[in-house]
Amino acid sequence: MSLVNPVIVIPGITASELRDEYVVSPETVWSAVMNKSYDRLTLHPENLRYELIEPARISPDSVFRLVYRHLIEELRYNLTSKSEEPVPVYPFPYDWRQPLDLVERQLERFVDEVIARTSLMRHYHRAGYPDQPRVNLVGHSMGGLIIAGYLERQGASAPVDKVATLGTPFRGSFEAPLKIITGTASLGGDEESGSREREAARLTPSLYHLLPSFSDAIETTHSDIPDDLYQVDAWQSGVLETLAEFIRIHGLRGRSNQTERRKWARELLEEMLAIAGAHRQRIESFRLEQAKMSPEQWLCMIGVDARTRIRLKVEKSDRHPVFNLTGQDRQNHWGDDDIDAWMFSGDGTVPYRGAEPAFLERHHLVCLRPDDFGYWEIRDRLLTRKTGFHGMLPNLNLAHRLIISHFSGQPVRGTWARPAPGIEKNEWQSPIRNLEFKA
């Protein structure tokens, strides 16, 4: 069958609009630009599946147009060789607050739906698509984690042909703990801090899935402080205090004494960390062979050459851990003569070391820089200054051409890419054949 498989685009955290379906008329309660109703988005400390304020039923609505519309339109147009035989490209909005295990199950059902819908398209039916149905997946940021978890869960039964990921924190980002501690971070939307955003973040299970876990990510000044953020004793006491206060105000056990509330707050944080930590272990243990895939089927694009937080120092004050968050930890050594120093870079949100997946060797990776925005991509260059390179990766025309080349099996004219740090031309094994090498 010569037709390109249908494509599903999975966005990053905060990039799906959420709406409350239990009001008289459905009402958007989260939009990446305008509406951010933190009081109605915050989850309940007694059961993180449901909202703090009832009645409520928060459901995903649509993906963030500013970032993903161009990508989806380009894929729909350029993967289609005949206008009367379109390649369907489906965005997959999801509730980005929830644990990723839950979202993976929703993706499983969505894949089945896309296959069923594509099988009804006359040109796909004629080409024999229903006999061996497959989909291609595109994941930006946390979307790539969802894809990896879905494939690890489904194994050989996953009906997936090719995958492309953009700026995915397979091993985490320091912006996640920054968001939980301060309420502000380069994870999506604006970077204005507020107590409501900080409190909502501390009760958002998915954020803990983004914690950094690569070697030497956390520097501790005392031996009794874990260098693993998936351990509750590594966290500032303020996080537990927030959770305890939510239990006091909203919890069924709120009338208990302060000692009991702190105990339950610790158990709640331990639960969120345990779920996220188990998911990270699944991603680390995943191998492409489990899903009957090869490195040639996964295009992993990593953003580099932007100032990015590359470490987190945890100190001790009054017997409690304290995160030392300084601007000096945001660095960019891409292009330095020391090869090892090149890895101390990133896309402004995800450090290079947090973007390297365990299931791909370094010589298979593709790197993208802010300078890869073309001369005519003036608007996207300007938006990058505000939202960061990470958030604008899906708008990069070069990324579009790479994904189209990967899915179609034919390099688009004028498409090139650069390797990961320390990889020479004769070592590079891009999943796109005959792709132009750029140092």
Positive or negative, the Cα torsion across 332, 337, 339, 341?
negative
CA 381 to chain centre: 22
Q: Is residue 280 part of a domain?
A: yes
For residue 189, the model assigns a pLDDT of 45
How big is the chain, counted in residues?
Answer: 439
Q: Which domain holds residue 114?
A: 7-16+60-437
Say which residues have a Cβ less than 8 Å from residue 105's Cβ, sequence separation at least 6. Answer: none
Element (H, E) at 17: strand 16-20
Q: What is the pTM of this model?
A: 0.95
* pLDDT digits (tens), the chain, 439 positions: 479 999 999 999 999 999 999 988 899 999 877 788 998 999 999 999 999 999 999 999 999 988 899 999 999 999 999 999 999 999 999 999 999 999 999 999 999 999 999 999 999 999 999 999 999 999 999 999 999 999 999 999 999 999 999 999 999 999 999 999 988 755 544 444 467 888 899 999 999 999 999 988 999 988 889 999 999 999 999 999 999 999 999 888 767 788 999 999 999 999 999 999 999 999 999 999 999 999 999 999 999 999 999 999 999 888 889 999 888 899 999 988 776 777 899 999 999 999 999 999 999 999 999 999 887 887 787 778 777 899 999 999 999 999 999 999 988 988 999 999 889 989 999 999 888 888 7
Q: Which of 280, 96, 272 is nearest to 172 (CA)?
A: 280
Q: Is residue 89 part of a domain?
A: yes
Which residues does 395 contact at the CB level (< 8 Å), separation at least 6?
A: 67, 70, 71, 377, 380, 383
Q: What is the CATH number of the domain that holds 284?
A: 3.40.50
Q: How far is CA 399 from CA 11, 302, 418, in A?
A: 15, 10, 12
> Residues 98, 104: contact at Cβ < 8 Å?
no
Neighbours of 335 (CB within 10 A): 12
| Residue 278 covered by a domain | yes
User: Is 30 domain-assigned?
Assistant: no
The pLDDT, as a whole number, for residue 377 is 80
Number of structural domains the chain divides into: 1
User: Within a domain: residue 132?
Assistant: yes
Q: Is residue 344 part of a domain?
A: yes
Within-domain flag for 39:
no
Report how far residue 403's alpha carbon sits from residue 399's, in angstroms, rounded to the nearest whole number. 6
Q: Is residue 136 part of a domain?
A: yes
Strand ranges in 308-387 using DSSP code E only, listed in sequence order: 308-309, 312-317, 320-324, 330-331, 366-368
What are the φ/ψ torsions at residue 182 (nearest 5 degrees)? -110, -20
